[in-house]
Amino acid sequence: MAASDELGAITKAFSGFGVDEKSLISILGKWHPEQRQTFRKGTRDFFIQDERKFERWDDRHVIQLQHEFLRFKHAIVLWTMHQWERDARLLKEALYKGPQHNVLIEVACTRSSEELLGARRAYHSLFDHSVEEDVAFGIHGPERKLLVALVSSYRYEGPKVNEETAKSEAKFLSGAIKGAAGNKNLIENDEVVRILVTRSKLHLISVYKHYKEISGNNLDEDLEGDLYLQETVQCLCKPQAYFSKVLDASMRPNVDEIKKEAVTRIIVTRADVDMKQIKEEYNHKYGVSLPNKIEDVANGNYRDFLLTLVARGY
CB atoms within 10 A of CB 217: 13
Question: Residue 178: phi, psi to the nearest 5?
Answer: -65, -40
**Range in 93-97, 237-241, 245-249 the model is least confident about:** 93-97
126 against 253, higher pLDDT: 126
Confidence band of 303 (pLDDT split at 50, 70, 90)? very high
Cis peptide leading into residue 239 (ω within 30°): no
Confidence band of 3 (pLDDT split at 50, 70, 90)? low
**How far is residue 304's CA from residue 113's CA, in Å, rounded to a whole number?**
32
DSSP, res 29:
T
Task: Please report the pLDDT score of residue 252 as a whole number.
Answer: 95
pLDDT tens digit sequence for 69-83: 999 999 999 999 999
- Radius of gyration of the chain from Cα atoms? 23
148 against 15, higher pLDDT: 148
pLDDT tens digit sequence for 129-181: 999 999 999 999 999 999 999 999 999 999 999 999 999 999 999 999 998 76
pLDDT tens digit sequence for 275-292: 999 999 999 999 999 999
Task: Please report the pLDDT score of residue 35 as a whole number.
Answer: 86
The pTM (predicted TM-score) of the whole model is: 0.91
% residues pLDDT > 90 (the chain): 74
Task: Please report the pLDDT score of residue 184 as a whole number.
Answer: 58
**How far is residue 119's CA from residue 108's CA, in Å, rounded to a whole number?**
9
Q: Which residues lie closer than 8 Å to 27 by C-beta, 6 or more apart?
A: 1, 6, 9, 10, 13
Task: Please report the pLDDT score of residue 16 as a whole number.
Answer: 83
User: Of the segments 24-38, 179-193, 208-222, which one has the largest average pLDDT value?
Assistant: 208-222
Task: Please report the pLDDT score of residue 1 as a whole number.
Answer: 54
pLDDT higher than threshold 90 for residue 241: yes
Confidence band of 242 (pLDDT split at 50, 70, 90)? very high
Q: What is the mean pLDDT of the chain?
A: 93
Task: Please report the pLDDT score of residue 48 as a whole number.
Answer: 86
Confidence band of 11 (pLDDT split at 50, 70, 90)? confident
**Range in 42-51, 81-90, 119-128, 130-139 the model is least confident about:** 42-51
**How far is residue 246's CA from residue 243's CA, in Å, rounded to a whole number?**
5
DSSP, res 195:
H
DSSP-derived pairing of the beta strands 55-57 and 47-49: antiparallel
- Residue 48 pairs in a beta bridge with 56
pLDDT higher than threshold 90 for residue 254: no
Nearest residue to 234 via CA among 287, 285, 180, 191: 285
Task: Please report the pLDDT score of residue 236 as a whole number.
Answer: 98
Q: Which residues lie closer than 8 Å to 56 by C-beta, 6 or more apart?
A: 47, 48, 49, 50
pLDDT tens digit sequence for 260-275: 999 999 999 999 999 9
Confidence band of 2 (pLDDT split at 50, 70, 90)? low
pLDDT higher than threshold 80 for residue 44: no
